[in-house]
Structures are given as structure tokens and as C-alpha cells.
Amino acid sequence: MRTCIVIGSGIAGIASSIRLSKLGYGVTVYEANNYPGGKLSSFQQGDYRFDAGPSLFTMPMFVDELFELCGENPRDHFNYSKLDDGCRYFFEDGTRFTCPTNTNDFAELLNTQLGEDKKVLMRFLKNSAKMYDITKPVFLENSLHKLSTYLNKKGLRGIVNLWRLKMFNTMNQVNSKTFKNPKTIQFFNRFATYNGSNPYKAPATLNIIPHLEFGYGTYFPIKGMVDITNSLVSLAERQGVKFVYNQKVEEILLKENKVYGVKINGTATHSDLVISNMDISPTYKYLLPNVKTPNKVKHLESSSSALIFYWGISREFPELDLHNIFFSENYELEFSKIFQDKTVGDDPTIYVNISSKYKKDDAPEGCENWFVMVNVPANEGQDWDTIVAETRKNILAKLSRLLGVNFNAFISNESILDPRSIESKTSSYRGALYGSSSNHMMSAFFRHANFSGSIEGLYFCGGSVHPGGGIPLCLLSAKIVSGLVKP
């Protein structure tokens, strides 16, 4: 039996292990931590349970597909519910609204609340769906770095329709031209943060992202986000995949530009293929010391990172839901602080996720578990202790102001994750959540391929390579890798 080693058990690494096992490979996954999932993990904090990282679940069919590939019914192992409401939004002037995922209801809401033309909104969302259909076969489901991607009907259709993607305009330029209310523009600009980018720099192609929510819906895993990891690890193990924890791969071993295994604890472990789920930069820097890092990897701008406060809250807030956004007043300044000044402004947009709204045992009765996140720059040696302290103070002031309470009085316990700890726990280069940003019209083409062009048997998956970050794209990266590997 041919063998494959997967480095890292992030969601893409797990999915790759499942797909390679179905191709007939004997697969072993080596994970440096004592738990699987990378960012998609969970932890207990006193009487409160928290999903540590990703909190938005869209396109669940990509998870279901893995069970179906193995001949299993997904509902026997992994279950989720579709949400009627996507997110609740709060603005400094007192404007509040809950965003329904139904497009007609959403258009009616923004017409009533913000005075937007319903026909304009529906046309925008329809165009978002069209852009997704164009990009799907070229940018999302296949390798951009293989000629065969373009030499078929769907690929050629994508190329012919590239002009529809508005690559030469920024998201903000298109959104400002489309909508008349600044709040609507800010609402749609926010989707750039889904892959760690700046809407004032990123191409309007990213306006496909709203389609993921409005076209496919948003969901909540019944057992929490970590159940995506847990259910897929169990599936992989049923397929014969072996997971080895607390084992850090030290080097990818090469002979005559061909992979023959990895080094662990100074000892060679042989394998026919190696798939790295580690971020692409540290993969080259630490695991391929004798291979030159490609220039495009060295010079890519990092995506944003995150500063997360995990707070056990000693009361309930009925005005909040699973997903909540407290917008900054000057959105352009916020992104300028992150990407130009490499710091955090005084008025960051705050995202609050409260899984106990749907999974009651995540917090004691009458309490809530708050995952409080703001976008921050990647780690470049900033004084994070000062930034964390100042940002915490500003978050508390904003929440207290918009919710009309002394919020600090309700925090019963706390832990913090910042770019430094994200980097150390997940090997994410500089703590960037999505590898590189998409702040350039050619960003999709700048991402590293899912294979090595010079080393036979070496492949890459995860958010730092094609097609990008986030759960759906990471799962697609695993699918692309399996399509490149010969059974």
C-alpha cells in the first residue's frame, strides 16, 4: 500500500486524510498539539464551553460530502440547524436590525430600515450568485496552476466572463456606487473580513461572499463548531487514518527532488506522499530548509489576525443572538489602522458570538459564553500587551454604551487569544488567520499552488494556499489536492 503523511490536523488536513484514504493510501496525520482541529477546536473555561476559533458555518454540503464519499449518512454522525437570522447589527446612532437570511425578507428590511431600493438589493445579490458560479469551477474547485483547469467548457466560460468579476474595482467602490445609505455600504464592505482583507483595497470580486450566506444560508452545528472537527476525525479513523498527537514534524525529507518522508524526533519516517496543512511560509522556512522559498510567498501581504476575549458572562442579554456586530463609526479608518499602521484603532468593530443561545449547556443557567473578537494586524513585533489592554478598555466602553449597562460587572471569567498565541498554537504565520490577504486584484493567482512544482510527491492544503481561508475553502483545498494525486 502506498502511504501518505499529513502534517497538521486542521480541517483541511483532516479532509485530505479522508480523501487520500479513499484513494487507497495508508494515511498518518501528525499533529504537534494534543488535540485535532487547529483553529477549529474548543476548550472549557470554568463552567463555560467555548469554540476557540471559527464561529460561522456556511456551505455544510462540503462536510456532508466527505461522509457521502465514504458511503455514510452524514445525519448519523453530524447534525446542524439552519438559521432564520444571520446576524444582529448595532450602530452608534442607535440603529439596530436583525438580518434575515431569506433574500426577500432582507431586501424588505433594508428598504424599511435604511431606505434602500429593494430591486437594487435583489440585483446585487443575484449578481453575487452569478460571480460565484463563474469563479466556482476556475478559482474554487480546481487548481489555478494547471492548464487543464482552463481547457474545458466551464473553465473557458469562467475566463470569458472574468469581466463580470469587477477585479479592477474595490469592494468599497462598487458598494458605494450601488447603495445610497452609508450603513448599507458598511454592511456589505464587512464581508471582506471573511478572508482577512481590506474592503477599501480588495477587489470587488469578493462581493461573491454575501452569496455564501444569502444563497446557501448560515447554520449552527448542534454540538457546537468543534463537532465539525470531532465528527470528521472519527470518520477518518473509521477509514483507517491514524492520528498521532504531540508529534511535531521537524523536516520534510527529500531525495533528488522527490519526497520520501518526514523527520520526527530526529528519526526518518518514510512515506510516498506528504501533504502539509501547516501555513505555507513556515512550511518552507522550517520543514524545507534546503528549498528556496518562492518570492511570491515571501512578499505576500498577511491577512488580518484577531484579538479574542473569551468571557463567561453572569447574565443573559435577550437583545443579542448567536452572531452580533457592533460597528465602528469610521470603517475606513479602522482598516487603515490595521493594514497601514499595523495597530488597532480606538473604535474597532466588535463581533460577539454567543453559542449558548443555541447550545444551552455551553453556559450555566442565566449566563452566556461570549466570544468577543476584533480584527487586528498580523504580528510584526508590536507591543501587544499595550494593544490588548487598550483594546479591552475600548471594547468594554463600546459595549456598555450600546447595551446601556456597566458591562464589566458581568464578566465572571476571562481568557485571551492574540496574534502571538494564534501563531504559537496553530503555526499560522504571524498569527494571520487566512494566510495572505486579498488586497490585490491578482491575489487569487498569487496564492501558492496546492502542489510543489519542483518536488514530486509534495502537496499543500489549508487556508494559506489556494483557494483561501475559511472552512469551506479549506475543505475545497483538500478536494483539489485529492484531484491532483494519482490513486
Q: Which CATH number belongs to the domain containing residue 285 in this structure?
A: 3.50.50.60
Please name the amino acid found at residue 81. Answer: S
Reference 78, options 25, 33, 144, 11; nearest CA is: 11
User: The cell 459595549 sits on which residue?
Assistant: 399
Q: Is the same domain home to 139 and 190?
A: yes
Cα gap 125→101, rounded to integer Å: 12
Which of these three, 167, 185, 216, is where a domain ends? 216
Which of these three, 154, 187, 216, is where a domain ends? 216
Q: Specify the long-range contacts of residues 317-322, CB closer than 8 Å, at least 24 apart.
A: 317/354, 317/368, 317/403, 319/88, 319/96, 319/403, 320/88, 320/352, 320/354, 320/357, 321/85, 321/87, 321/88, 321/98, 321/354, 321/357, 322/83, 322/220, 322/353, 322/354, 322/355, 322/357, 322/358
What is the domain extent for residue 185? 102-216
Contact 183, 93 (CB under 8 A): no
User: The cell 456589505 sits on which residue?
Assistant: 188
Please name the amino acid found at residue 228. Answer: I
Domain assignment present for residue 158? The answer is yes
Q: Is the same domain home to 200 and 133?
A: yes
CA 86 distance to own-chain centroid:
17
Q: Is the same domain home to 134 and 185?
A: yes
Domain assignment present for residue 476? The answer is yes
Measure Cα distances from 355 to 50, 155, 352, 373 in Å: 8, 40, 10, 14
Q: Is the same domain home to 259 and 195?
A: no
Can you give the pLDDT at residue 162? 56
Q: Is the same domain home to 174 and 264?
A: no
The number of domains in the chain is: 2
Can you give the pLDDT at residue 58? 96
Q: Is the same domain home to 183 and 276?
A: no
Cα gap 247→437, rounded to integer Å: 30
Q: Is the same domain home to 244 and 161?
A: no
Domain assignment present for residue 370? The answer is no
Q: Is the same domain home to 196 and 126?
A: yes
* Per-residue tens of pLDDT for the chain, all 487 residues: 999 999 999 999 999 999 999 999 999 999 999 999 999 999 999 999 999 999 999 999 999 999 999 999 999 999 999 999 999 999 999 999 999 989 999 999 999 999 999 999 999 999 999 888 888 777 777 766 665 655 566 655 655 555 466 778 899 999 999 999 999 999 999 999 999 999 999 999 899 999 999 999 999 999 999 999 999 999 999 999 999 999 999 999 999 999 999 999 999 999 999 999 999 999 999 999 999 988 777 777 899 999 999 999 999 999 999 999 999 999 999 999 999 999 999 999 999 999 999 999 999 999 999 999 999 999 999 999 999 999 999 999 999 999 999 999 999 999 999 999 999 999 999 999 998 887 775 555 578 899 998 999 999 999 999 898 899 999 999 999 999 997 7
Q: Is the same domain home to 182 and 267?
A: no
DSSP 1-15: --EEEEE--BHHHHH
Domain assignment present for residue 319? The answer is no
Q: Is the same domain home to 28 and 120?
A: no
Radius of gyration of the chain (CA): 22
Q: Is the same domain home to 194 and 236?
A: no
* Distant-in-sequence, close-in-space partners of 424: CB < 8 Å, separation ≥ 6: none
Domain assignment present for residue 192? The answer is yes
Which of these three, 216, 234, 266, is where a domain ends? 216
Domain assignment present for residue 286? The answer is yes
The pTM is what?
0.94
Q: Is the same domain home to 31 and 127?
A: no
Domain assignment present for residue 176? The answer is yes
Cα gap 13→29, rounded to integer Å: 8
Can you give the pLDDT at residue 165? 65
